[in-house]
Structure formats: C-alpha cells, structure tokens
A and B are shown apart, each in its own frame.
Chain A
C-alpha cells in the first residue's frame, strides 16, 4: 500500500463522513452547504476565531507528541488526562506558593515542575510495567481518575480560596505566573512548534528514539540488541508524561489562570485520537491537531449560528472519527470482488 493511497483513503473517509452528516443536517431542515461554510467560517472567519483554533491546537499538539512517544514503544498511555492534571497541579503549587518571584524565574520553575509532575505520574505505571509486566492501558486509565479526584479535592478542600465567598475555586495566579503572549496568543504555540521539531529529531536521529522504536517492535529484539528494556520504558514514559504535564502547566497558567478540574477538558483523550490519526509522526500531529481544533471551534460556532444542539455538532466529530478508523480496514486489506470464485465455492459445498 503506497503512502499516497492511504492518504487518499483517509481523505475519502472524511468526505464520506461529511456526506452522511449532510443528510442529517437535511433532516434538521437546514442546508448542509450553509452549515459547512459556517463551520469553516467559525474556525477561521475572524482573527479571534483563528486565535482560538491555535490555542486549542497548541494543547493538542503538545499532548499528542507526548502520547506518540509512548505509543511508539507500544506502551498504550491512556493516561494523558491524568498527567495533564498532575503537571498542572505541580506548576500550580509553585505558582501559589512563590507568587512574588520574578516572572522568568517563576515561569521556568513552573514549567520544570509541571513536566516533573506529569513525568512522575507517568513513571508509576511505567515502573509497574517494567518490573511486573502489568497492563499499562488499565493502569494509566485508572490513574486519570485518581488525578482528577485529587485536583477536585484540592479545589473543594485545602486549596479553596477563602476570598471566593464559599465558591469552590482555587485562588488565581499572580500576574508573574501567567505565560506571556506573542502575537496576541500565549507563548505555548511557540513551544508546540519547537517540540514538533525536537520530537521529530528525537524519533529519527537519537539513540533513545531508536531504542524506543526497536522496543516497540519487539521486546526480544531489544533484548538481543542489548537495549536496557526497563530503563528505556522508564525514560520514554517520563518524557511522555512530562510533555502532557507541560500541557497542564500551559492550560493552568495561560488559560485558566489557576488550577481547576476544567484544566484538561478531555484533552488527554482527544490527543489519543489525533496521535493515532497522524500515524505517530510529529509533523502530521501538527496538521491533524490544527484540523481537529478547527473542527471543535467551528462545531461550537454552528451550534449558536444555526441553533443546532451541541450533541449534533459532536455527532460530526464522532462520524469523522468513525469513518477514518473504519477506513483503516481498507488501508490494511485489499478488497477483491470475485463472483466466479464464490459461485464455485457454493458448488463445492453441495
């Protein structure tokens, strides 16, 4: 299967999804073409909307890159969500306790703390996997809920802002703890672009990246090549979690200006989808993430513009995913129509 062919199949899948959704729009007595035009307008129609798309894609890109590192090793890190929470938590700890530090120093510390927070959270399932071969899918998934409930506990308990008049909310960060803007968008988008290049170099030219790929393909081969399997699992998962943790830091600092249970909003799960659709390739992750963010942004626009219920807008995302994932079948297998043979087999049965 050539690369071009698989890209064509995926694009066809998206088109099919749009066609099917168009029927649905018809049923709702709307003109599908209008809705789709509005969808694009909603995503790219104004400077504000484009900024929103970039902000959404920034978080998706960084998280997806982190998840891609784990997936490359065939370590199914479903715990991006939890790692985002723990990264945000660690960064917030610094922000809330040292609000008066000079801005560059404070932000650097927050970034380091966020990455260590996410990294350590990811290290727990990695350690269990390396040591006792536990199932990382279940473990990372469950740890998401632990992280979520931990942040919720902080928000409703010890970290609750006494000034918030009983409202369950953690105090806002000081101005020094908020990421600066570049061209009107928080600086995270530059991090994302840099990381795309860095992770790409990491995958294609570094020793660790090579080891991760070998280990992902076959543990026996890795052993045979003299790769330290446990160390590789731990290092890769730490990096994976650290990137998710960085997302958490960015979300808390630039968007929420504090730690809250809304800091992730399902990013860790959405990123799994974008990572997978991008075949774990950093530059594809960038493109897929932007498209996905546009879909999210445009989707919320058509809700208000056409009075389409939110659930219907989400249907479109679901449909695109469904078709793209189903199209994998046609990428892996060739469909052969052979009526002659079928007829013969039937004869054979009698």
Chain B
C-alpha cells in the first residue's frame, strides 16, 4: 500500500522543465531516499508535496485519495511535513513554545499540560526534547530535532527532510538516523533528500534516483551499491576514487600564529588559531557549518579584521595589508556560499566582466582591455563545461552550478601561490566535482599551498594531506589524513579536544 503516490508529475518554470513525467511512490513505514545531482529536480518534486508549488500536470495521491496541495496549509492537513535546510524557529522562544506556535488549541495555554504533552510525545519518538530550553541555547542538531518535533506534533506522518545532514556532525547525523528509524517503526514515511551516497546506503530502504528532471529508477537499497547509484545519477560509469598525488613537501608558505578575531557583537569567532600550510600541500579544514571557516578565509585575505595574532605568507606579514596587496602576493580565495554568488562575483555583470574582477587593476592606463578576458571566458566554458548562452549574458541568468564554475575557473586560472577554496564543489554534479579535484591536485603539483574547506568528510579524507578541524572558532585538532577516520574527525568537530581522543594520530 502506498502512502504517497505521485503520478506523471510535470513542472516547468518558464522554458525550464524541472520535473518531467515523474512517478514516485512511498510506502508506509519506509525511509525513501531521493537521490540526484543538483538541478535534477529533487527539491521541485518535494516542494510540490509540501504545497509550495503546484504541478502543471499529473496527480498526487495520499493514502489512496487524490489531493490538490495548493498551499502549505493543505499539505500539513494531508499529514505531510517538511523540514527545510534552513530552520524556521523563533530563537527567543523555548522548545515547547516553538512546537505550540500556530496550533489551534484555544486562547489560553495551560503551561504544565503543554509540557506534559510534549514530554510524552518526545519519549514516544525518543527525541530528547527539553521543553523549556530556548532555541538560541541549542546546538544545530537540537534545533533540527525540534523542527522535526514541530512537524510530528502537528500530526504529520509523512516527513520530508531536505538535505538534513549538511549542517550536522557525524554523531548528530547518527542521532538523526535513529530518529528516522524510530519514525519508520511507528509507521510513518520518511522522504530523505541528499546527494551523499554513503548516507543513503546507511539509512534508506528504497532509493529513487532522479536525473535531469526525470525518474531514472527506484531501487531497493539492499540490492544496490554506491557505484551503481553514481552511475544512475550521472548516466554513465564514474570512477569514485579521488587521486591523492604524492608531492614532495616544500617550505612553509602560510603561517598563522595565535590568530584571534571578533565579530561585530564582540564575540570571538576565531580563537587562538595556529597552523601552517606548505607548498605542494592540501590542508583540509573540517567543521560543521559556521565554525569559523568563513572568518578564517577572510582574515587571511584581509577582508575581516584581525584582533590579535599574525599571519605570515612567505615570511611576510599579511595582517594590516589591504585586500589588493594580498591579491598581488598571489593569494586566491574562493568561497562558495549557499546561494553560490557570495562576494566573489557580480550577478548583473557578464562572464567577461566577472573574470577581470581581480586582475583588471594590473592593466596599464585608464581603460580596460577586455579581449584577453573574452578568450579566457571561452576557455573556461569549454574546460568546465559551463552551459551559458554566451560570454556576454549576465551570470545571474546561469544556474547556481554554472555560476560557481565561473568563480572557480577564474580563481584556479589566476596562478596563485596560495589557493584558499571553500566548498568548491558544493552542489556540483559528480563529473565536475572530480574535474575540480583534479584541477586542485594539479595546482598542488605545481607547488601551490592549498587550504581546502570542505563539508564532505569522505572527500576531505581522500583529497587532503592533512585535515584541520575547527569547532566554534577553535582548532580542535590537525590530523594526518591517511591515518584519520570519520569517527575521529566527528569527535573533533563536536569539540572534543585532542586529549580525549586517545589513539588519534595527531600531527
């Protein structure tokens, strides 16, 4: 018996077909993973279940009845709850107040009864909610649990999780998976969107793979493996191993000493950070989102004020230099934020104008010669397989992945001596991701020092020489990537200091 059945769903945005004749069934008591590259149409599909979009054609059945989910309200009434990537919680309210928000249960609220009800509910699903804890005191994992509770408390028995693990440590991910399994036992259905195949293999019962807006196949997890899934996602066989080239280490290029930085609220965002990067080395940086990665990148490149400490590049002091001076020293920084655009690119400008952003100042005279940049743009389009109508279209018209390729193409092509790159493959499809890893490896071979800030621990472990773990602005450990494991990294990401690790190999 299907709890949800989507039949022949098509959704277009202008001339873009996001979903094309998609069939998707979810059964009672299963965890169903929705797998696909960015732009494959996963989010569009579930947004139609959560009432944010309505399909152009096709039908949606819930418990055998056809429904029209024309608003989020209608979707909630149908028992469908969605957990978005960005939490929708009120920071200054407690857990129970957040759960109770928007509930239609009379004008007055009996506080003790509410607490009791929420505790009962929490025990049933093993959610470990502390009813009176304020949201701002919660860790990311706790907030996510609260989001899930909110939806379950409203009576949802179909839960949609949109890339829920992106912000979690491995330990928190494990906890999330146990909650998902508990829900499954209760007969609920869980739809789990991700592009991390290891997680899919670990937790799901069935997997539906989408590619370019169409359903490729629905498979049982026990009948498949990551290699087959990758092939289904991409459409042809792929090699999943990341090369780690052996490069003889050079001299120390970047040295960060006792670095301390504060944000505008005078909260320390980098606490006494010490590390070095050598020529021909990739130093990975692991950590849950918002652990100080952005601030670290920006302090090195002169964009973020340094409170105390020093940064040396080839023995030269960088602190106090202008961003321009740091760029001319051969330091490149590309930070891919969630919206892909961030500070590296100008959305309304075309590719050519974006490519000259950092080197137009090297040209002599009052005017800018754009001809070399046009040539470079065409090369990058070919090399990184960017789909764009032309080099003169505003990059705002490109998709997120293509925008990102423009940025990476520019930064990798700038012949840096120190390459700082944060989340370079965020949301890129597998092929391009591997192309990027190759390009990074090539830079490494040239003797470039690389600071690689990543989110996928598997990639960090395979690509990097050493991995530095940040937690709450502090370095909790620097490990040799060959000897590190995900478990060790996870503990460090959660803030366990070196001492408690016991057998971990420290650098």
B366 touching A206, Cβ below 8 Å: yes
Please, how many angstroms separate the alpha-carbon atoms of A59 and B10 in the complex? 56
B368 touching A226, Cβ below 8 Å: no
**Nearest CB of chain A from residue B328's CB, rounded to whole Å:** 8
Which residues on the B side are within 8 Å of A347 (C-beta)?
68
Check: B273 CB closer than 8 A to any chain A CB.
Answer: no
Which residues on the A side are within 8 Å of B358 (C-beta)?
225-226
Check: B16 CB closer than 8 A to any chain A CB.
Answer: no
A217 touching B348, Cβ below 8 Å: yes
With A210-B353, A226-B322: A220-B347 Cβ-Cβ less than 8 Å: no
A226 touching B346, Cβ below 8 Å: no
Beta-carbon contacts under 8 Å, A204-223 to B? 205-208, 210, 213-214, 217-218, 220-221, 223
Please, how many angstroms separate the alpha-carbon atoms of A214 and B357 in the complex? 8
Check: A183 CB closer than 8 A to any chain B CB.
Answer: no
Interface size class of A (residues with CB under 8 A): 20 to 34
| Chain B contact residues, majority secondary structure | loop
With A206-B368, A344-B70: A228-B324 Cβ-Cβ less than 8 Å: yes
Interface string of A33-63 (1 = CB under 8 A from B): 0000000000000000000000000000000
When C-beta atoms are compared, the residue in chain A nearest to B74 turns out to be A348
When C-beta atoms are compared, the residue in chain B nearest to A205 turns out to be B367
**Nearest CB of chain B from residue A160's CB, rounded to whole Å:** 45
B343 touching A207, Cβ below 8 Å: no
Check: B327 CB closer than 8 A to any chain A CB.
Answer: yes
**Residue in contact with B361 in the complex, picked from A206, A207, A223, A224, CB distance below 8 Å:** A207
B343 touching A210, Cβ below 8 Å: no
Please, how many angstroms separate the alpha-carbon atoms of A206 and B322 in the complex? 22
Check: B101 CB closer than 8 A to any chain A CB.
Answer: no
Check: B344 CB closer than 8 A to any chain A CB.
Answer: yes
When C-beta atoms are compared, the residue in chain B nearest to A227 turns out to be B324
Check: B165 CB closer than 8 A to any chain A CB.
Answer: no
Beta-carbon contacts under 8 Å, B25-58 to A? 54
B347 touching A224, Cβ below 8 Å: no
Which residues on the B side are within 8 Å of A227 (C-beta)?
324
Which residues on the A side are within 8 Å of B68 (C-beta)?
344, 347-348
When C-beta atoms are compared, the residue in chain B nearest to A226 turns out to be B324
Which residues on the A side are within 8 Å of B349 (C-beta)?
213-214, 217
When C-beta atoms are compared, the residue in chain A nearest to B303 turns out to be A223
When C-beta atoms are compared, the residue in chain B nearest to A345 turns out to be B70
Please, how many angstroms separate the alpha-carbon atoms of A218 and B73 in the complex? 37
Which residues on the A side are within 8 Å of B347 (C-beta)?
217
With A207-B360, A226-B322: A221-B343 Cβ-Cβ less than 8 Å: yes
Check: A304 CB closer than 8 A to any chain B CB.
Answer: no
Check: B495 CB closer than 8 A to any chain A CB.
Answer: no
Please, how many angstroms separate the alpha-carbon atoms of A224 and B348 in the complex? 17
Which residues on the A side are within 8 Å of B74 (C-beta)?
348
**Nearest CB of chain A from residue B94's CB, rounded to whole Å:** 31
Which residues on the B side are within 8 Å of A341 (C-beta)?
54, 70
Check: B323 CB closer than 8 A to any chain A CB.
Answer: yes
B303 touching A224, Cβ below 8 Å: yes
**Residue in contact with B344 in the complex, picked from A213, A221, A344, CB distance below 8 Å:** A221
**Nearest CB of chain A from residue B322's CB, rounded to whole Å:** 7
Interface string of B330-349 (1 = CB under 8 A from A): 00010000000011111111
With A207-B366, A225-B357, A345-B70: A217-B324 Cβ-Cβ less than 8 Å: no
Beta-carbon contacts under 8 Å, A175-229 to B? 201, 205-208, 210, 213-214, 217-218, 220-221, 223-228
Please, how many angstroms separate the alpha-carbon atoms of A201 and B368 in the complex? 10
Beta-carbon contacts under 8 Å, B281-306 to A? 301, 303
Interface size class of B (residues with CB under 8 A): 20 to 34
**Nearest CB of chain A from residue B293's CB, rounded to whole Å:** 16
Interface string of B137-155 (1 = CB under 8 A from A): 0000000000000000000
With A218-B343, A221-B345, A348-B73: A210-B360 Cβ-Cβ less than 8 Å: yes
When C-beta atoms are compared, the residue in chain A nearest to B54 turns out to be A341
Beta-carbon contacts under 8 Å, A10-32 to B? none
Please, how many angstroms separate the alpha-carbon atoms of A24 and B118 in the complex? 66
Please, how many angstroms separate the alpha-carbon atoms of A347 and B77 in the complex? 13
**Nearest CB of chain A from residue B371's CB, rounded to whole Å:** 12
Which residues on the B side are within 8 Å of A228 (C-beta)?
322, 324
A224 touching B344, Cβ below 8 Å: yes
B345 touching A207, Cβ below 8 Å: no
B71 touching A348, Cβ below 8 Å: yes
Which residues on the A side are within 8 Å of B356 (C-beta)?
210
With a 10 A CB-CB cut-off, give which of B68, B301, B357, B358 has the most chain A CB atoms: B357
**Residue in contact with B71 in the complex, picked from A217, A223, A345, CB distance below 8 Å:** A345
A226 touching B361, Cβ below 8 Å: yes
Please, how many angstroms separate the alpha-carbon atoms of A308 and B54 in the complex? 54
Check: B363 CB closer than 8 A to any chain A CB.
Answer: yes
Please, how many angstroms separate the alpha-carbon atoms of A225 and B324 in the complex? 7
Please, how many angstroms separate the alpha-carbon atoms of A224 and B327 in the complex? 9
A207 touching B357, Cβ below 8 Å: no
A207 touching B367, Cβ below 8 Å: yes
Which residues on the A side are within 8 Å of B325 (C-beta)?
226
When C-beta atoms are compared, the residue in chain A nearest to B335 turns out to be A224
With A207-B360, A210-B368, A348-B74: A221-B322 Cβ-Cβ less than 8 Å: no
**Nearest CB of chain B from residue A214's CB, rounded to whole Å:** 6
Please, how many angstroms separate the alpha-carbon atoms of A201 and B365 in the complex? 14
Please, how many angstroms separate the alpha-carbon atoms of A344 and B55 in the complex? 13
Which residues on the B side are within 8 Å of A210 (C-beta)?
353, 356, 360, 368
With a 10 A CB-CB cut-off, give which of A218, A224, A345 has the most chain B CB atoms: A224
**Nearest CB of chain B from residue A154's CB, rounded to whole Å:** 38
With A207-B360, A207-B363, A344-B70: A214-B343 Cβ-Cβ less than 8 Å: no
Beta-carbon contacts under 8 Å, A299-343 to B? 341
With A213-B349, A221-B357, A348-B70: A226-B363 Cβ-Cβ less than 8 Å: no
A223 touching B323, Cβ below 8 Å: yes
Please, how many angstroms separate the alpha-carbon atoms of A227 and B68 in the complex? 52
**Nearest CB of chain A from residue B332's CB, rounded to whole Å:** 11
Which residues on the B side are within 8 Å of A220 (C-beta)?
303, 342-343
Which residues on the B side are within 8 Å of A205 (C-beta)?
367-368
When C-beta atoms are compared, the residue in chain B nearest to A342 turns out to be B70
With A206-B366, A207-B366: A223-B343 Cβ-Cβ less than 8 Å: yes
Please, how many angstroms separate the alpha-carbon atoms of A221 and B342 in the complex? 8
**Nearest CB of chain A from residue B261's CB, rounded to whole Å:** 16
Which residues on the A side are within 8 Å of B346 (C-beta)?
213-214, 217-218, 221
Interface string of B51-91 (1 = CB under 8 A from A): 00010000000000000101101100000000000000000
A-B contact pairs, 13 of them (CB 8 A): A205-B367, A205-B368, A207-B363, A207-B367, A213-B353, A214-B346, A220-B343, A221-B344, A224-B301, A226-B324, A344-B68, A348-B68, A348-B74
Those 5 A-B pairs whose CB atoms lie nearest each other, nearest first: A226-B324, A220-B343, A226-B323, A224-B343, A217-B346
